[in-house]
Amino acid sequence: MKNVFLLFRRGANSTYDFIGEDVWGDESLYLNLGYWTGSSMSYDQAAQNLADYLGCSAQLHNAKEVLDAGYGFGDQDMFWAKKYPKLKIKGVNVTQLHVHRARARVEAAGLSDRVDLMQGSATELSFEHNRFDSVVSLEAAFHFVTRKDFLNEAFRVLKPGGRLAVADVIPCKIPGGANLMQKVRMRVLSALLSTPNVNNHSSEEYREQLEKIGFVDIKIESIKANVYKPFFSFVRNQKNNAQFMSRLSPRVRYFYKMISSPSDKILETFDYVIVSACKPEVFA
């Protein structure tokens, strides 16, 4: 147990190397928790639903070029490329395993001319100012060291009028402030999620950060009711699925059992939000 927590405290790169390709989908390699709208929904559909929700929030139907920060195995990028035939996608990711696997999958899908996935940091982007119509990050920004640096970089590379959309995990606002037990839960979950403490902002702090950077038209929507409980219900239902469990390596199987029965108190600690904002058409 101690070694697992130490591993996850080393950062997102070590976390995803640990997970490898032992993920939840039957037909995809999505790594997100999904947006669930029915009890009979498959994980693959729920994960794609979340990607679709984020793409709509980023207004990808109006975009010519989008930057995806933290693209995992590239499933969302291939989905967006097929849904929006005129869209070109650039992606950055720090995890070498993801980069190699995602690029191979994009090539196999015949999308290399429109989807360019590279290794790089979302907090130190190599792109020029005012490049992209949209910047998106699907369940990755809470890993970044730091999220604020990413948001600054997103603002820089967005065109005037461009949109930011992020599916993100943040602490819930607790009336009267968190007590000792709640603070302990937050620290434990932050370690498991490879979230630097500096990223544990409330929605109000998140909004203030975006405003200070210069973003306008800021929306922070909680969708936790369609994420946490249905995802963990799916996890619990798989515990006795021998075929599913056989796909997981012993180390991931151990961790899987550990996360399969979170208490409501733990689920109350963190929110799941879709954050969207716009770079002004004219800015100083």
pLDDT digits (tens, 9 = 90+) for 95-130: 999 999 999 999 999 999 999 999 999 999 999 999
State residue 9's pLDDT score: 47
- Residue 115: name the closest of 73, 168, 147, 161 by CA: 73
Residue 272 lies in a domain: yes
Residue 208 lies in a domain: yes
In this prediction, residues 86-91 reach a mean pLDDT of 98
Confidence of residue 173 (pLDDT cuts 50, 70, 90): confident
Alpha helices in the chain (DSSP H): 2-9, 12-19, 43-57, 75-83, 96-108, 147-157, 180-192, 203-213, 228-238, 242-246, 250-259, 264-267
At residue 71, φ and ψ (nearest 5 deg) are -90, 0
In this prediction, residues 77-96 reach a mean pLDDT of 97
Residue 135 lies in a domain: yes
8 A C-beta contact, residue 100 and residue 128: no
The residue with greater pLDDT, 47 or 247, is 47
**C-alpha span between 272 and 166 (Å, rounded):** 10
The structure's pTM equals: 0.88
In this prediction, residues 226-240 reach a mean pLDDT of 85
Q: What is the DSSP letter of 191?
A: H
Residue 283 lies in a domain: no
**In the block, which residue shows the tokens 């139907």?**
61
Residue 269 lies in a domain: yes
The residue with greater pLDDT, 254 or 68, is 68
Domains of the chain: total: 1
8 A C-beta contact, residue 186 and residue 157: no
In this prediction, residues 260-282 reach a mean pLDDT of 81
In this prediction, residues 40-51 reach a mean pLDDT of 96
**Per-residue tokens: 4:** 């697992």
The residue with greater pLDDT, 13 or 95, is 95
| High-pLDDT (> 70) share of the chain, % | 78
**36 pLDDT above the threshold of 80:** yes
Domain that holds residue 235: 2-278
Confidence of residue 62 (pLDDT cuts 50, 70, 90): very high
Residue 284 lies in a domain: no
**202 pLDDT above the threshold of 60:** yes
Q: What is the DSSP letter of 129?
A: T
Side chain identity, residue 117: L
State residue 4's pLDDT score: 44
Query: Highest mean pLDDT range out of 103-112, 166-175, 225-234?
Result: 103-112
8 A C-beta contact, residue 111 and residue 88: no
Residue 86 lies in a domain: yes
Q: What is the CATH number of the domain that holds 184?
A: 3.40.50.150
**268 pLDDT above the threshold of 80:** no
